[in-house]
Structure 1
Amino acid sequence: MLHAPSLAIGAIISAIVIIIAFTMFDGITNPTELKIEPTPTIQQAGPAKITMETFLANGSPILGNPNAPVTLIEFGDYQCHFCNVFFHSTEGKILENYVETGKVKMIFKDYNIIGPDSVNASHGAHCANDQGLFWEYHDILYSNWTGENNGWASSENLGRFAQEIGLDMDVWSECMLNGLHSQTILASNEDAKNLELTGTPAFFVIGPDGKTTRLFGAQPLETFEKVFEMELEK
């Protein structure tokens, strides 16, 4: 059953455990109504103190010009149906029109709400980041998406994806087996909960003055363009 957008299971995956059984490395060959809710400043939301670190820490490396005036943060789950819809229908145009032109920089953060394979896929991306290939691994994950909890993000497939993008398999495998990035993934999930997110994908657009706009679901390009252009006019 697909999530629309994906709903949190229980209280997320309460303790993220990296479940990896890599034994074959050597042989591995319409979304809901759109809402734009601006908030004046980043201060406090409920009992959790929301700071800029809540948005920027525990995520991917920056995609684009680090000095771009607008920041787009996506909280996603690699098994999420609507995250995959966003990747294939909207993200490419955002990259072409805004990221590659230096107007917007992008950060991806984990919110693992579907199953253990989601956590393992996140860990695969962070281990790829150790070799400077986070976004290549991020892209190959979504390019191979076939559903939720159906095995496409199995340990064997995650290893195959790593090989396909040219990672050093010894280094990447050791990273996976030792769970080197589990705390980063846990912290990112905690950031999502502190922001009171209940599904994926969820987006935050931060303008040059620190104002944030929340966008939920696999929204069309026009929605992002409207917010970007509003922020770029400042």
Structure 2
Amino acid sequence: MAKLANAKNQRAAKTARERRKKLMLLASAAAVAAVAVLIVLGSALRGGDETEVADTAAQREGRVLGSPTAPVVVTAWEDFQCPVCKAANQSVIASLIKDYVETGKVRLEYRNFAFLGEESARAAEAAECSAEQGKFWEYHDVLFSRQSGENRGAFNKDRLKGFAQEAGLDAGAFSTCFDSGRYKSAIEDERKEGQEVGVQGTPTLFIDG
């Protein structure tokens, strides 16, 4: 009986996790739809003036993609261990970048909300070091592609250093930055900032426009 009850509880927990993932993806899709509505309204209020297309390829530094004069700003709070964040980046956020960021209508700003454990914070620190070399988004994408469960060693120190080469970084400079721990407190401060503005889980998208 105990084994049957345990199996039933495990199935229920799995179903609940899958339901949460589906709801979060739907929320992300709704956020992208809201961006589209804001862009349309903004264009109408401006009398139909077109926004100049931004050269986002030249702006892949720091944690921002898009034109500094974009009429809409989307702030994405993510955790590199979050499987729903990975799915969102491969779908709705990828579409957001292609259809709105690369056409100058939206600026996308990334924020760390490392709440799923030690490896989340460690990965966020590593991503900050990649930003020093203007490769944040490349490293960001590598991290999500190498994601494998929570706190199972996918983001241990050696692997994070190995990802630097995969993202086209100077491995020596990256290791020096990462080993220094210079972003440790900043990552924790940013998580607290997220809580203060209402972030409760990831991904969370805020739209200002």
What is the TM-score when the length of structure 1 is the normalising length? 0.64
The one of 62, 71, 74 aligned to 2:76: 74
Letter in 1 for 2:140: H
Which position in structure 2 is the counterpart of 1:200?
202
Residue 186 of structure 1, CA deviation = 2.0
Which deviates more from structure 2 when the two are superposed, residues 88-97 or residues 125-134? 88-97
Partner of 2:154: 152
Instruction: Answer yes or no: is 1:121 the counterpart of 2:123.
Output: yes
- Report whether the alignment pairs 1:97 with 2:99: yes
With the length of structure 2 as denominator, give the TM-score of the two structures.
0.71
Whole-Å Cα distance in 1 between the matches of residues 121 and 18 of structure 2? 17
Residue 57 of structure 1 corresponds to which residue in structure 2? none
Partners in 2 of 1:159 and 1:141 — Cα distance? Answer: 11
Q: RCO (CA 8 Å, sep 6+): is it higher in 1 or 2?
A: 1
- Considering only CA atoms, is the larger Rg found in Structure 1 or Structure 2? 2
User: What is the distance in 2 between the residues matched to 1:191 and 1:84?
Assistant: 22
Question: How big is the shift at 1:4?
Answer: 6.8
**For the residues of structure 1 that align with 2:19 and 2:114, how far apart are their CA atoms?**
15
Amino acid paired to 1:200:
T
State the Cα RMSD in Å.
Answer: 2.2
User: Aligned residues: percent identity?
Assistant: 33
Shift of 1:5: 5.5
Structure 1 spans left out of the alignment, 5+ residues = 7-29, 39-59, 208-234
**Greater strand content:** 1
Aligned residues: 162
Matches within 5 A, 1:44-83: 60-83=62-85
Which 4+ residue blocks in structure 1 deviate beyond 3 angstroms? 1-6, 32-36
